[in-house]
Amino acid sequence: MKKVYLVGAGAGDVELLTLKAVNILKKADVVLYDALVNTQCLEFCKKDTITINVGKRKNNHIKKQNEINKMLVQYGKQYNIVVRLKGGTPFVFGRGMEECEALAKAGLEPIVISGVSATTSVPESFMIPLIYRKYNDSYRTITGHDVEIFEDIITTYNKRESLIIMMGIHNLKQIVKILLNKSFPTNIPVAILSKGTTKEATKLVFTLDELLNKPLEFFDDIKTLTPAMIFVGYFDATNSIN
């Protein structure tokens, strides 16, 4: 059975690629890569490797998911080593399982090579611990792409749990209102973490109350920081290393 490799490219810094990822990229005949993948990752490929950008960003999908699935099957049957290079790690907000299902249905074997997830590595790159005995015992990772789903899942506030909100920057104002309605403290820190692990990394820290009172222009401007994640929880914001 021919194999197709779903490979996690990590959070942005090319040095966060795993050795296993580098080794398969060196052998790849075809690489289909995401929009958020650092293109320096492609420098590990052979000179004759076919590299194709199939990235999807908000309101700008180069390829739709069903098209990507068909391409993976097509190339998987035609070439020896095909890599689907995905931002972060394949099964965290990456629709990797859908691609695995399409491959398996076509008689191809999907092989997953995990990457360093942005959900953990980005906060750490800003010296924000997800678990720190002083403040929390758990963290929850959730998408902010659909505010209705977000509101349904976040039912209450737990002072010992932090939130990692992915793909929520465009809905920041609604998310703030939802959290306040769910009894999150008005003074809880909210960190906007943009382009973490890269040279363009930016961290902005507010409280929920400060964000609630920001003008509409602020929420339009903040969208320019994408890709960005939202961290909600207590940490040593005044003492953290930038």
Residues labelled as active-site residues: 34, 56
Tokens of 61: 């999908």
Q: Identify the residue whose tokens are 């998911």.
A: 65
238 Cβ neighbours under 8 A, 6+ residues apart = none
Burial of residue 99, with CB atoms counted within 10 A of its CB: 0-12 exposed, 13-18 middle, 19 or more buried: buried
Residue 116: CB atoms within 10 A of its CB come to: 23
User: CA neighbours within 13 Å on the CB side: how many for 220?
Assistant: 3
164 Cβ neighbours under 8 A, 6+ residues apart = 119, 123, 130, 139, 140, 141, 142, 229, 230, 231
